Amino acid sequence: MSRAFVKEGDSASSGSLVDRFYQGLLGLSDPARALIGKRQQQAWLASREAIETARHDAQAALGADAYREMFDSAAERAGDPQDATWWAAGDAATAIAARRRLTSEQFLLLVAPLSVALPWLKDASRQA
């Protein structure tokens, strides 16, 4: 796993935020995936420009290679490439990795669709 994905202070002994994220992705049910996909599509229609800006800022914070590595790693676990759940997982992964360098609004915008199934994501930006 890329070091850029782990925030200083993530505790290996208590289970890091990244570990919780990947465990949550692997445990998603089909109905949860459908709901996440629906929320991702709704968010895209309502806030496309803001999502693109948040993605760009996350990529700038992480670097292009690390951003792509994190996005792809999460998206692969989410399902079919290029579907809405795939995008939601990738966006959430990069938001978690860049959470110290994104605004709270940008972070929430990127994790919101996935947070319908993993509600603790909404508070992840405040976790040490």
Judge whether 93 and 52 are in contact, CB under 8 Å. no
In this prediction, residues 48-60 reach a mean pLDDT of: 97
In whole angstroms, give the CA distance from residue 28 to residue 109: 20
The separation between the first and the last C-alpha atoms of the chain, rounded to the nearest angstrom, is 19
pLDDT digits (tens, 9 = 90+) for 71-112: 999 988 887 777 889 999 999 999 999 999 999 999 999 999
The structure tokens listed for 7 are 């925030």
Judge whether 93 and 73 are in contact, CB under 8 Å. yes
Judge whether 96 and 21 are in contact, CB under 8 Å. yes
Q: Is 80 exceeded by the pLDDT of residue 12?
A: no
